[in-house]
Structure formats: C-alpha cells, structure tokens
Homo-oligomer: A and B are copies of this chain.
Amino acid sequence: MAGSSFGTILKVTTFGESHGPAVGAVLDGFPAGMELSSSDIQVYLDRRRPGKTKIATPRNEADSVEILSGVFDGKTTGTPIGLLIRNTSQHSGDYDNLRDCYRPGHADFGYDAKYGFRDYRGGGRSSGRETTGRVAAGAIAAKFLKELGVRIIGYTSAIGPVKVSSLPGDEGFDEEAVLTTATAMPDSAKDAEARAYLETCMKEKDSSGGEITVVIRGVPAGIGDPVFDKLDARLSAALMSIGAVKAVEIGDGKSVSGTVGSKNNDPFRIAPDGKVITSSNHAGGILGGISTGMDIILRASVKPTPSIFREQETVTREGTDTSLTIKGRHDPVIVPRAAVVAETMCALTILDSMLLNMSAKTENILKFYGRI
C-alpha cells in the first residue's frame, strides 16, 4: 500500500520511473470478453505523448504499449492485463545538478525526507511520466464504458488567463479540436490565444497554470456509494492524484459557497421520455455521492509547471542555501497532456463504481443467479 494501486473491483497498479527501463501498469478485475488490441490503448497514449508540439517537452518517445497478459484470441480474459511501455529517450545527464539539491515546486525534498534518498533523474517516480501507465489502463476502461453508453471527454478549459466556458454540446464547443489543437482546447480561437500566451511565458523562462474540465455523459442514476466512497469523493481523489492538481470541483464547485439554496438546488422534472432529470445541473450530476443521471462535470486546477529555466533559490541536501538553474526538457504548461490523464482516471473510477453497483439490490442478485 505504498500508494500505487487504485480501485476496488477494477484495480490498477502502476510502476516505473521517468529514467528507468520502463513504465507500465497491471489492470486487474477487468471483465472477460471485451475485444482489445494495443491500438485501442495507443490512441490514448498518443494524446499524452510528449514531443508532438512546440508547447510540449521535446522528449520524443514513441510510448508504444505492449500487452503482456490478460488478452487471448483478441479478447480480455478476466485476468490481469499487464501493460508495458519502454522508456527510450532518457537524457539522464540533464539531471546531474539535481543530485544534491531540491527543485522548488517539485517532490524532490519530500521524497528525500520520506525515503532517505531518491532517483533524481527527472523526478523518478514523481515524474509526470508515471501517468503513462494510468492512461494505458484507463484507455481500456474507457473502451468498455463506451459500450456501456458512457462517454468521457477531458479537455483544457483554461491556460493562464485564456478560458473556455462552453461545455460539450454547447454551441462553439468543438470536440474535434480537443484532439487536434496543441492545447487540447475545444475552440481553435482560444487555442491560438493560449499558444500566444504560452510563447510569452516561454520567452520569460516561465510556465503557466491552467484548468482541465472532464464531462462524463451517460452514467445511469444510482452509481456511487454512501459516506466515504461517494462518487465525487472517489473522483476527487482520482484527479487530485495527478501531480500539479491543486483544486477539484464538481458542478458549480467553488462558487457554491457564495450562493443560496433556492438558486443552487436543481429541481427534479420528468422528461418527455419518462426519465427523471433535473432542469438545471448545479450539482454536476452527483447528489449525496450518488449519480443522478445528469452529466457529471468536474474541474481540476493545475499549477504552472514547476520546472522553469530561471534561476531559483533552493537548498542543498547538506542543508545550505543555494540557487539552481534547471536544465532538461519541460512543458510550459502541463494541462494539454494531463487532460487525457484526467479523462482516463475518471474512466477507471466510473467503471469500478458501475461494477460495484451491480450488487446493490438483492433483487438483481437473485435475478443474476436465476432465482427469480
């Protein structure tokens, strides 16, 4: 339980360091019978892959995934799916000056305090590269969710001051653009604006924060559990477990503190098709930890990349003040590549909760086992 496993029935365990031989994951509890090939996963990895654009680290890795187990005759077998991605483009020499001091805004000091030493090459386990395994595993969950009628879209909703407020389905929200723009923004004008802003940041040897929005559509009402495993609690942990995320919101999020009940409550109504809906969705699709059937809307605020090329004040492992200039290859903003990480973490969480939900009613269990 050193923290590299996630999930209850559907459980992912990741491994790997930025500059070790490989990163990867084991996905256990995935049900049997779904068609799966490495190309299903590769599509997601390519969205996370570095080196594609001017605003991403030039570390250029194919990040091609090998399925080591759990698939037979092109279908999942119900047994653990082992996923391996070799590291191929390490420039470990870039990190030699970090051996004896801590990068501000990074996990270096905490790891040293905890473990007594650390793999200082590219952050080791604390590197964003760790998320490769999650994306690979989450891609598999996302594929099955699609078959279950659940669609998850994660995108960049802000980079510094440049913000997108429209939601999927709204006019002006270009879903295609999420996959094609360098910023993963659903709006090519905003994308251009954000890229211009990032150019400025880079010129000033600085980096930018941003925001990821994830919209989950098609989750039936009744998913999630009471008390500690509320669906929003699990999704919060899922998103906050992504390095650099400093806030997680659901629905109206932070703004609820300033509002009143008569405005924040979503009235229930019967839709023309007889389904229960709410006529607004301030709640973001979850009430009391249980899904309502409305869109689940999450936002994660992401801090600026801590690796900037300015000289920064820091300390040495021996306990003296010093200054540091970071080398290496770093994204000026993490959000465009982190959006798919957020999306796949939500996929893992939602699928796990949907599997758990199958045993909520005695009636369904009796039916499953042919007793009624």
Instruction: Given A22-B82, A249-B247, decide whether A256 and B304 contact each other with a Cβ distance below 8 A.
Output: yes
Q: CA–CA, A306 to B26, complex, Å?
A: 30
Taking a contact as CB atoms under 8 Å apart, the answer to whether B17 and A4 are in contact is no
Instruction: Given A104-B267, A223-B114, A289-B107, decide whether A260 and B209 contact each other with a Cβ distance below 8 A.
Output: yes
Interface stretch, picked from A31-39, A41-49, A57-65, is A31-39
Taking a contact as CB atoms under 8 Å apart, the answer to whether B79 and A124 are in contact is yes
Q: CA–CA, A210 to B361, complex, Å?
A: 36
A243, A357, A362 — most chain B CB neighbours (10 Å)? A362
Q: Closest chain B residue to A112 by CB distance?
A: B222
Q: CA–CA, A195 to B279, complex, Å?
A: 31
Taking a contact as CB atoms under 8 Å apart, the answer to whether B261 and A315 are in contact is no
Q: Closest chain B residue to A101 by CB distance?
A: B268
Taking a contact as CB atoms under 8 Å apart, the answer to whether B361 and A115 are in contact is yes
Interface stretch, picked from A166-174, A183-191, A230-238, is A230-238
Instruction: Given A33-B361, A261-B105, A369-B149, decide whether A5 and B28 contact each other with a Cβ distance below 8 A.
Output: yes
Q: CA–CA, A258 to B103, complex, Å?
A: 22
Contact of A32 among B1, B16, B116 (CB under 8 A): B116
Taking a contact as CB atoms under 8 Å apart, the answer to whether B114 and A258 are in contact is no
**Chain B residues closer than 8 Å to A71, beta-carbon distance:** 20
Chain A 78-93 near chain B by CB (<8 Å), digits 1 or 0: 1111101000000000
Smallest CB–CB gap between A13 and chain B, Å?
A: 5
Taking a contact as CB atoms under 8 Å apart, the answer to whether B254 and A301 are in contact is yes
Q: CA–CA, A102 to B221, complex, Å?
A: 13
Smallest CB–CB gap between A89 and chain B, Å?
A: 17
Taking a contact as CB atoms under 8 Å apart, the answer to whether B354 and A369 are in contact is yes
Contact of A113 among B104, B220, B234, B274 (CB under 8 A): B220
Taking a contact as CB atoms under 8 Å apart, the answer to whether B82 and A24 are in contact is yes
**Chain B residues closer than 8 Å to A221, beta-carbon distance:** 109-110, 113-114
Q: Closest chain B residue to A162 by CB distance?
A: B258
Chain A 246-260 near chain B by CB (<8 Å), digits 1 or 0: 111111111111111
Taking a contact as CB atoms under 8 Å apart, the answer to whether B312 and A110 are in contact is no
A104-B265, A253-B254 known; 15 new pairs, CB 8 Å cut-off, are: A1-B225, A2-B11, A2-B79, A3-B226, A4-B80, A15-B69, A73-B117, A77-B125, A110-B224, A110-B291, A144-B365, A201-B260, A246-B283, A263-B304, A269-B315
